[in-house]
Structure 1
Amino acid sequence: RFAHGDHHVLVGVDLEVRAGETVALVGATGSGKTTLLELGAGLIVPDSGTIRLGPLLTDELTPRVRASRLALVFQEAFLFAESVRENITMGEPIDDARIEAAARLARAHEFISELPTGYQTVVGERGTTLSGGQRQRVALARALLREPSVLLLDDATSAVDPSVESQILAGLRERTEATVLIVAHRLSTIQLADRVAFLHDGRIVATGRHDELLRIEAYRTLAQAYEEAPAP
């Protein structure tokens, strides 16, 4: 359970995610999706209940261990007025091969290679010289470089072309062992997930594959709205 004052954001949430599984969190605005990811990342703590990473309670992990095992990527990708390389490595001494591997997995290597000086190109304050989708892919590469065991994506590829987004998610499943929780608003993303958790008013009201949940009227209505939504 988690609340802001008297407003209960999440109530009675019980979700077990298997290692290596990709789970899409689906629900209307305000249903608690982002809060659930923030709880999973340890950014906030529940008012009651526990969150575990395997046998370990997340609130018992040291910040260093938590940072090495969990990565949360938000929709708004924050970049510094530094080179693409610096934005991916955050100043850590990491070899080029690892950086490129992370960028390829995030489907960022191709556009980075076309920049004036490649990975050494300075992107401007908050990454303003890049498009929204490019900024998101750089931020994703930053997270993937850490090789987290759990990857939490809060609409983190919403500005990326749908076909590229599908390639990213397929690559994550094929080339990493990461467990992925993703807040999704695209049917193409939802359909790629192993399982969907449908949230309503702070509760998980159903879990299953996308085609299974379509039997639920509220989920079907939401899925139709996603399908009809204009591309970003």
Structure 2
Amino acid sequence: VAFINLDEKYLEQLAAGVQWKIFYKKGSTPTSQRLPFEIQLLTEKPFISVAFATEQNTPIIVESNLIGYFNFNNIMTAIVVGIYFKVPAQKIKKAIENYVPANNRSQLIRIGTNTFLLDAYNANPSSMKKALLSFSKITAPNKIAILGAMKELGKYAPNEHSEIVELANHFDFQKIILVGEEYQGMGQQVFKDTGELKDWFEKQDFQNTYFLLKGSRSVGLEKLLPTGRV
């Protein structure tokens, strides 16, 4: 069985040779009375909440601990797989609501008056763009994007990093801080590595600030935070 998210246009084509398919998508009126399955996105500021319908067409609201629109697709898939395998709706709801991200993946960490969105397990151009877009939608008085380099891009690295910086500059962030030699010459604040960034960061007095930390695993942006907070 292939579970196909119709919002990802390429998936249906990739699954052309699969005999059994279950289709689902984002919708505004979730119901169990028709196919494809529809899951409604309720909020994403910052945590994602969604709604889906039981077999009796009863609406179920799920309040997740996940941040960013890109995680909405993951939640949709989890719900549809659960429905297909006849997992009771309340168990689906409980499983999603009890999941707390770790391992540098979409973690929300509060330290004093500051909030850190740590998503530094990995990074590529697609995930970086999605992270920036989601971060731009969060309502906060002061937002700073700390972007680590994207590794293993080869000859495409200069252009891809330049495009990410250009995109970040379109948003109303207080600062854009870049980490890695790949960003040299692309911004006002570029640090060669996380160690150099941390030396500077610890001398600042940020208050009531929301930070996005997004970069490849080897950049180690989680080291910016105090030991024991990740």
Q: Same fold (TM over 0.5)?
A: no
Please give the TM-score of this superposition, normalised by the length of structure 1. Answer: 0.29
Please give the TM-score of this superposition, normalised by the length of structure 2. Answer: 0.29
Instruction: Flag the structure with higher helix content.
Output: 1
Considering only CA atoms, is the larger Rg found in Structure 1 or Structure 2?
A: 2
**Which is bigger in relative contact order (C-alpha 8 A, separation at least 6)?**
1
Instruction: Flag the structure with higher strand content.
Output: 2
